Structure 1
Amino acid sequence: MLIVVVGYWLVVISGFSDLEGDAPWLGFGGVPAGITISLLVALAWLLSLAGSRFVTGPLLWAVPVLAVGVAWLAVRALLAPLRRLASFGHRPSRRDFVGRMCVIRTGRATPDFGQAEVTAADGSSALVQVRTTGQDRLTGGQTALIFEYDADGEFFWVMPYESEH
């Protein structure tokens, strides 16, 4: 596997590939897959090498399995600061909430009044001003879809959203 990682980086350095892909399927969303997999393989290889020096006999088969598990946990811990740095260049905007689901937190939401709680991509939540269109009336606890931001009024336009659950 280490030879595969070295080969991958030689291809990247030569310009035949790039580092764009993300690795959310490994639990490492926000960091390029090449970096994630390279760290995971290199650390697992190093741990397997070190573990094989101390373990012999019938338990030797468990060394690579444990090495991959420990490497996965270590890479998650190492990449947490990188995820924050990856979003460093992006300035959060209210427009980031457009297209997200929200939950009405006031007793009602109408064309003139309402507040809702929305969760951002980073997991944080915010209480925002919302308004409905036409005859739509939403009640507290109902789910709605944010479909537009009104910069002049500093509120979000929402519409009812019924999930299929």
Structure 2
Amino acid sequence: MLDCVLGLVYCGDEKCVLCKKDIYDDENICKMCKDNIKICRDSFQIGNYDHEFSCYSSAYYSGAMMELIIKLKYKNSFRSGDIIASYMKDTIYNSNIDFDVLTYVPMTKKSLKKRGYNQSEYLARTLGKYVGKPVICCLTKTKDTKDQIGLSR
């Protein structure tokens, strides 16, 4: 009976978030779409003379990863966000990245009201659960800038 009730609450949609084919695991993405994600193994340094930081990317912005990001950002696909956060978690573990807290890029109140949620905050909170680290809000966005999607190169 419990399974029936849970089946009503949680629809059990075991389909790939991208291609909608049936999947048989808890990853939300099929093997074919997963194989279309190009993992980034390089890092780079930013900073100045006194402080330098290593920066990492989990995957290149192309193919399936680009679709996942677009679905999270513009279609409210939280399953896509869970997949992205999982790749971020893998990068942290595989690169032995040591850190104390996670933060995220803030949005203006106007943008937050328009979109309904902050996708970078969602990723940070999901990733925080995966790696057991606290998420803090330590940045403030003071200028309402144009969306990058509408800008020229």
Shorter-chain TM range is: under 0.3
Is the radius of gyration larger for structure 1 or structure 2? 1
Q: Normalising by structure 2, what TM-score?
A: 0.23
Q: Normalising by structure 1, what TM-score?
A: 0.21
Higher strand share: 1
